[in-house]
Amino acid sequence: MARAELDKRPQRGWRDLLPASALGMAAFFTQFDVTGVVVAMPAMAAELGFGVAAYAWVMDAYSLAFTGGLLAAGALADRYGRRRALLGGNIVFLAGSIACGVAAGGPELWAARAVQGLGAAFVVTGGIALLASTYARPDERARAFAIMGVISGVAMALGPTLGGLVSGWIGWRWIFLINIPLCLLVILGVPRLVAESRDPAGRPLDWSGVALLTLTLGIAIESLLMGRAAPAWIAVGLAASACLFAIFGIQQRRRAAPIFDPAVFGRPVIAGISALLVAVSIGYWAVLVYLPRFLGAAVGWTGSSVGVALLAATLPMLVLPPYGARLAKRWGWRRLFATAMLVLLAGDLTLVLAASGWLVNMDVILAAAAIGMLLIGLGAVLAHPQLSGAVVALVPPAQTGMASAVTVVMRQAGFALGIAALGATIPDEAMATGYMWPWLLAAFGSAGGLAAASLLLPGHQP
């Protein structure tokens, strides 16, 4: 249908956005099982006897499988059907959730979390592709993506609070088991509301590229966590990971349709955006994973108390994204992202102060922790929602699809590596003062993002 004919079609009402709501709900639990699980992890660690490395793998197993799955999900969804990919991913996620809920030890929980992550990759990829194919008009598509964005934002922002309430009232296992009715609703609702779509002529699946990038990331994570006991392993593992990444770059350069084009992402401006993606993942998202442990060590808070406290860091992600978009238009990319990184850096340094032991009054420690969490939330909300738009604006039009997908991959990769890097600096039996080092490392990451924004990004917004 021609664009002119599309624009003459009558506006559809909000009732016709029910498919977007169904797809948003399908994505809801994939986000909730990142932020909602964070608050319950200390209880998991206590029951299953986790140290810090095992604690980190609860999140990294999910993130690593999600990253690898994203690289494969798009091609498979195009070839075999996007609705089929979403529903298949939903079933895999359901199976992983049940396995998490009944896990008897660390290895079983890590494997189940990996299954969840793989299913989530197909749910998210299929959902986004179905939204784009279901809503042809630009205004309808914008509203549909806004609905999905709000639902995902609720999951990210309120996940810690809801997770804390569930964990405190009925136990951490129910954070996973409550996915069962949600997944069943998706299985029943999506086929009735959303039509199938596919693109058999889509890009081919690059199995070797998926395997190389997943192995690269997995070795880097494990080497950082093993380095807690044997620091030499960090150098050996990171060197091996770097070699594999170089092989991946060579392999991608030789492919006619690469999943990650080194030529595009070697440009200085895209290198700057990539550095910002990693900086936000380390300075905010990875910090969020360890905040419940810190609050438990500092003030003895657990469960629902921690979930409510984390609203200081997560609630800005729900209510403030529109203001970030307005500032991007007014200030331009460089000023916006430099400001965001500066606020994020200030928040991380305030958390360093709260954990340093220099503050002896408990009320002052709590105030510093609250201010630090609020600042990292504000810094993240200024940067995080705008980064995808910046990538799309700064790459050639023919490569925006690949660029958008790679930004998601880089967010997840930065998140996984940030969790491992911060975890490598925390002693197994950490007092509150032991968290000064991971917060300081997060501050270095934020400072790197500040330098990248100031030096590599354009002052205007294309």
Per residue in 16-57, pLDDT tens? 678 888 888 888 888 888 888 999 998 898 899 888 889 999
> What 3-state class would DSSP assign to 152?
helix
Instruction: Supply the pLDDT for residue 257.
Output: 76
- Asked if residue 9 belongs to a domain, the reply is no
Residue position matching structure tokens 């998991």: 44
- Asked if residue 5 belongs to a domain, the reply is no
| 325 pLDDT above the threshold of 80 | no
E strands in 180-253 = none
Q: Indicate if 38 and 74 belong to the same structural domain.
A: yes
Listed in sequence order, the residues at least 6 apart from 224 whose beta carbon sits closer than 8 Å to its beta carbon are 234, 237, 238, 417, 420, 421, 423, 424
Q: Give the range of the structural domain holding residue 224, as residue numbers without chain letter.
A: 207-254
Q: Indicate if 213 and 244 belong to the same structural domain.
A: yes
Q: Indicate if 283 and 380 belong to the same structural domain.
A: yes
- Asked if residue 398 belongs to a domain, the reply is yes
Q: Indicate if 393 and 284 belong to the same structural domain.
A: yes
| 193 pLDDT above the threshold of 60 | yes
- Asked if residue 7 belongs to a domain, the reply is no
Q: How far apart are CA 44 and CA 32, in angstroms?
A: 17
- Asked if residue 61 belongs to a domain, the reply is yes
Q: How far apart are CA 126 and CA 187, in angstroms?
A: 14
Q: Indicate if 178 and 268 belong to the same structural domain.
A: no
Instruction: Supply the pLDDT for residue 138.
Output: 73
Domain containing residue 81: CATH number:
1.20.1250.20
- Asked if residue 371 belongs to a domain, the reply is yes
Other C-beta atoms closer than 10 Å to the C-beta of 173 total: 18
Domain termination site, one of 163, 194, 225: 194
Q: Indicate if 226 and 361 belong to the same structural domain.
A: no
Q: What tens digit of pLDDT does each residue of 53-73 get?
A: 899 999 999 999 999 898 888
Q: Indicate if 405 and 444 belong to the same structural domain.
A: yes
| 12 pLDDT above the threshold of 70 | no
Q: What tens digit of pLDDT does each residue of 222-236 get?
A: 999 887 777 888 899
Q: Which of 65, 45, 69 is nearest to 56 (CA)?
A: 45
Q: Indicate if 143 and 268 belong to the same structural domain.
A: no
Question: Mind giving me the DSSP string for 35-72?
Answer: HHHHHHHHHHHHHHT--HHHHHHHHHHHHHHHHHHHHH
Burial group, residue 363, by CB count within 10 angstroms (0-12, 13-18, 19+) = exposed
Least confident of 140-149, 206-215, 331-340, 400-409: 400-409
Q: Indicate if 166 and 220 belong to the same structural domain.
A: no
Q: What tens digit of pLDDT does each residue of 232-273 get?
A: 888 999 999 999 999 998 998 888 878 777 767 677 888 888
Mean pLDDT over each residue of the chain, to the nearest integer: 86
Q: Indicate if 285 and 385 belong to the same structural domain.
A: yes
| 9 pLDDT above the threshold of 50 | no
Q: How many domains, the chain?
A: 3
Instruction: Supply the pLDDT for residue 387.
Output: 84
How sure is the predictor about 278, in pLDDT bands with cuts at 50, 70 and 90?
Answer: very high
% pLDDT > 70, the chain: 92
Instruction: Supply the pLDDT for residue 398.
Output: 62
pLDDT mean over 192-221: 86
Least confident of 266-270, 400-404, 410-414, 455-459: 400-404
- Asked if residue 3 belongs to a domain, the reply is no
Q: Are 55 and 41 within 8 A, CB to CB?
A: yes
Q: Indicate if 337 and 409 belong to the same structural domain.
A: yes
CA distances from 342 to 324, 375, 443, 446 (A): 15, 10, 10, 8
Give the residue, 401 or 221, on which the prediction is more confident. Answer: 221
Q: Indicate if 364 and 445 belong to the same structural domain.
A: yes
User: Residue 112: what residue type?
Assistant: A
Instruction: Supply the pLDDT for residue 446.
Output: 97
- Asked if residue 317 belongs to a domain, the reply is yes
Instruction: Supply the pLDDT for residue 304.
Output: 82
CA distances from 422 to 55, 77, 87, 143, 212 (A): 12, 35, 35, 38, 24
Q: What tens digit of pLDDT does each residue of 109-167 get?
A: 999 999 999 999 999 888 888 887 888 777 777 777 777 778 888 888 888 888 888 88
